[in-house]
Structure 1
């Protein structure tokens, strides 16, 4: 029988009425496979996944298919966002097999959990053939399958031998070359990586924005960032009516999105646009920041102060229906005859600019949506009457941490008291619902049965977000929470291999997993190891903890060889290396009580430097300027600080 009815994952609950005898991942299902000596089918997806819905309708809702699956397999449904550790292992396995990855991900395992075959989406006829072929192979060629599965299981474990150590102290300059490679592979017309589909890759944009002014101009890094951010703001990937970004664009022009909206994208892009606007004051960027915050608060904010995971791509069984328009729908309320500029700006055509005669609002020119406020408000009101896409109500810690970092950066960009308060409310909700008193954390706020312990990205993203919040709130509670998270992460995720500086993704006590995985590449989200590395660097600087700085340097030395070979997928590592080693930024440690008593806070902020309140300055010294891991002599007065600062810049 189907055993998903008591789960909290919306994705698992979507499958609770399938005739397939689905079970959640866990000891009961895994033990049953061993007891009955049956193959395991692990089917992995997520609630906002369009092709997951398609395969469900074609295959998993079909009784004939279900009968075949139930007869031969222990069928396990996994929400990849709830169990990213399981997804990481079996996605890697598929790629080791030379197959294309994606979701839905369907992987066949021996009773020992070791994989031997799989794939992504399959239509009904092909799926039934695969089910029969796999079962026949299990009966007739079991020894060969066992051998194959054993090989794949060994291949997917991550070890120190995968990495080549680099001495950072004697390393040549690498940032200009890596920027040249990245910018050279970007679309010179529409921005982003020069291919389709196009993903935003926020870590890469943060890297482009992070380099010194001269280098950013010489390498065209700033131009590449401006181009992509502007084109995305104009594109269909951005919801011109309510704000918020879709997960990716299926074309190369940011025109037609895959309409699912993910919390992790929007939190990270909020931060990127906030960083960019501090370099290049662009009113469209400011509008994107405010519209994205509006989207997050109006569509994904829960009553407990945390944010939900995503909005589905589909509504009424059709992808994008909620977000797109026929010419006639718009013309009824905004007549073309009296509003031709609106139609021209958003490229609204009588026969549609997309599938099925529908239109995606896509700005031809770099105009703010506020220019057409009345028209946008009309469409906003009409859309509220439509059947809304489903919300994935999981509240994932790492993704909420991305939003916290984004809100903190938005406050620094716009100095809005409301945005700062939004950040503080979210920080409080994270502390109340996702952090434990012993320094550990949960992966998500609600669960069935046992809680799901936090993964490395939960610890790392949250520690980093609390550090960033501390640097604007000056509330030591936020720094203390970051400290606790990093210390606990070291206890739970440190590799048992000698001289291996990177952390495991899942806790080293987990005995359900067949491989140790180390997340080190930066993709649509920054790698968890790069985030913990940056947290260690901040804690080392703020609190003068040499051991933190040394561990972070060892992590960089472990990955930097790979980063140089493939810079686009190590962009967060390269940004960290640039900002802390090759192009270190000047930061100011200061005595908060002294600065507030002397009324110097506005003067300090005017220096446009990172400000770090500390309690460990020498007696009667109130300011300390640091560049990377090197600090100047501490000084007592504002005049002395100003003199040092002028000499430095």
Structure 2
């Protein structure tokens, strides 16, 4: 029988009425596979995944398909956002098989959890054929499958030899070369990486905006950065009516989104657009920031004060129906300028005669505010896409940091209050008996936090401490960092395992290092160590952060676009370090002082260990001084 009815994951609950005898990942299902000596099908997806829905409708709701699956397999459904550790292991297994990854992810395992075959979306006929082939192979060629599975399982284990060590003291300047390589991969017309589908990649954006302006200009990056940010804001990937970004664009022009909206994208893009605004003062970016915050609060804020995970791409069984418009609806606004600005066609500029709002120029949506109000009201009459109501620690922690950044640039008190409220909700609902949780609600046992959860939380506490000077936040960050050192340390590497040593059994423990649509858990942790080394004056933390960088920098140089958060950290802390001014007392006088250097290159760090001011740059600290004038004189020596 199907055992998903008691789950809390919206994705698992989507499958509770399937005739497939789905079970959640856990001891019971895994032990049954051993007892009955059956292969395991692990099918992984998430609530907002369009092709997951398609495969469900075509295959998992079909009685014929379900009968084959139920007879020959132990069928386990996994929400990749609930158990990212399981997804990480079996996605890597698929790559080791030489296959392309994606979701739905369907992997076949021996009863001991070792994988031997997999794939993503399969059409119904192909899926039936594959099920029969897998069953026959399991019955008739078990030894060969076992040998193959042993090989894949062995390849999944992290090995210290995979991570070369670089002496950071002897590493030449690498940031210009990394930026040159990234520049060659960028789309000069529409921005972003020059391919389709096209993802926003906030870590890469933030890296580009973090390098000193002089270097950026020298390499000809500002126009590429501006193009990227403006074209995304003009594109269909951004919801002109309701605010917020979709997960990616299926084309290279940001025109047609894959319509699901994710909390993690929008939290990170708030930070990215805030950094871009700080440098360019583009009013289009300000509109994007404020409207995205409005979207998050209106559509993803839960009664707990935490933020939900995502909105589905589909509604009423159709992708994008909630977000697109008929020509008649838009023509009824009686504004020809709007139709032209948003590329509206009588026959539709997308599928089924419908239109995606796609701006031909970087005009503000507020220019059409009266019409936008009408469209927002029309949306209220539509059936909304489903909401994934999981409240996940890492994405909420990233949003805390984003709210702080927005407040620092725009000074809106409501954003500061949002940061405080969200941090309080995290402490209230994502901590149980001093155990940090991955998500607020769970079906059986609590799901302990993963490395990205706690690393992002440390960074959130650091941002709030730097803003408020309240030592409580610094001490909370330090407590979590000490827990990470105890529970997540790798036995051979300076890097850290994705799962706590207290977590349940998996066939491999992964070390996450690539920065893709999210910064990797280890890169976030590396930055946390470097910050806390400064804030707590602990050399061990600083050395740990540097050791992590030393094991990654060679890979980062080879593939800079996918190690962008690592490179930003290396740039800001090693190659182009900012001047850090530790101060005792109030920050107000420092902010208003007429410094001899660009304020973008100066960071104010509250300290309870000094009497007045201590200036540090990179590995060097000046002598403590008593006045800002003396600090400014020290800074002048750096120019």
TM-score of the aligned structures, taking structure 2 as reference length: 0.98
Q: Tell me the equivalent position of 1:175.
A: 175
Is this contact kept in 2: 1:25–1:78, CA < 8 A?
yes
Taking the TM superposition and a 5 Å limit, the aligned residue runs for 1:235-274 are 235-274=235-274
Counterpart of 1:277 in structure 2 is 277
User: 5 Å matches for 1:427-466?
Assistant: 427-436=423-432, 438=434, 440-466=435-461
Q: Secondary structure at the match of 1:592?
A: coil
- Give secondary structure in 2 for the equivalent of 1:362: coil
Matches within 5 A, 1:179-218: 179-218=179-218
Indicate the SS of the match to 1:470: helix
| C-alpha deviation, 1:437, in angstroms | 5.6
Match in the other structure for 1:561: 554
* 2:518 is the counterpart of 1:525: yes
**In 1: Cα distance, 2:343 partner to 2:176 partner:** 39
1:234-633 → structure 2 map (5 Å cutoff): 234-332=234-332, 334-335=333-334, 339-436=335-432, 438=434, 440-497=435-492, 500-592=493-585, 602-603=592-593, 607-608=599-600, 609-617=602-610, 621-633=611-623
* 8 A Cα contact 1:3 1:23, kept in partner: yes
Q: Over the residues paired in the alignment, what is the CA RMSD in angstroms? A: 1.3
Shift of 1:95: 0.8
State which drifts further: 631-640 or 552-561.
631-640
SS of 1:626's partner is: strand
Structure 1 distance, partners of 2:503, 2:131, is 30
CA positional deviation for 1:288? 0.5
Match of 2:13 in 1: 13
**TM-fit CA distance, 1:604:** 8.3
1:382-439, Cα deviation, whole Å (9 max, x unpaired): 111100000000000001111111111111121111111111111111111113564x
Distance in structure 1 (CA, Å) of the matches to 2:161 and 2:147: 23
Aligned equivalents of 1:352, 1:234: Cα separation in 2: 18
Deviations 1:620-649 (A, max 9, x none): x41111112321111112222232234434
CA contact (8 A) 2:331 2:339 kept: no
Matched-pair contact (CA < 8 Å) for 1:203–1:571: yes
Are residue 643 (structure 1) and residue 633 (structure 2) matched? Answer: yes
Cα deviation code 1:455-502 (max 9, x no counterpart): 0000111111111121112222222221122111111110122xx100
**Distance between the aligned counterparts of 1:213 and 1:630, measured in 2?**
23
Cα drift, residue 601 of structure 1: 5.5
Which secondary structure does the structure 2 equivalent of 1:648 belong to? coil
Q: Whole-Å Cα distance in 1 between the matches of residues 576 and 14 of structure 2?
A: 49
Aligned partners of 1:7 and 1:630: how far apart in 2?
54
**SS of equivalent residue, structure 1 residue 254:** coil
Alignment of 1:12-161 (within 5 A): 12-161=12-161
State the distance in 2 between where 1:310 and 1:600 align: 40
CA contact (8 A) 1:202 1:524 kept: yes
Question: Partners in 2 of 1:92 and 1:607 — Cα distance?
Answer: 43
Distance across 1 between alignment mates of 2:262 and 2:183: 26
Structure 2 CA distance for aligned equivalents of residues 167 and 380 of structure 1? 56
1:140-166 CA-partner distances (Å, limit 9, x unpaired): 000000000000000111121101100
Q: TM-score, normalised by structure 1?
A: 0.96
Measure how far apart 1:222 and its partner are. 2.9
Contact 1:587/1:610 (<8 A) preserved: yes
User: How many residues are treated as equivalent by the alignment?
Assistant: 636
Instruction: State the SS of the aligned residue for 2:604.
Output: strand
Matches of 1:118 and 1:411 in 2, distance apart? 46
The 1-side partners of 2:113 and 2:141 are apart by: 17
Q: Matches of 1:562 and 1:555 in 2, distance apart? A: 12
- Deviations along 1:289-332, one digit per CA (max 9) or x if unpaired, are 10110011000001111000000000000000000001011223
Sort the Cα spacing of 1:361 and 1:246 in 2 relative to 1 into closer, same or farther, 3 A: same
In 2, Cα distance between the equivalents of 1:501 and 1:604?
A: 41
* Partner in structure 2 of residue 3 of structure 1: 3
Q: Tell me, which stretches of 5 or more residues in structure 2 are unaligned?
A: none
- Shift of residue 552, structure 1, vs aligned partner: 0.5
Cα distance in 2 for partners of 1:5, 1:194 equals 43
Unpaired runs of at least 5, structure 1: none
State the distance in 1 between where 2:17 and 2:473 align.
44
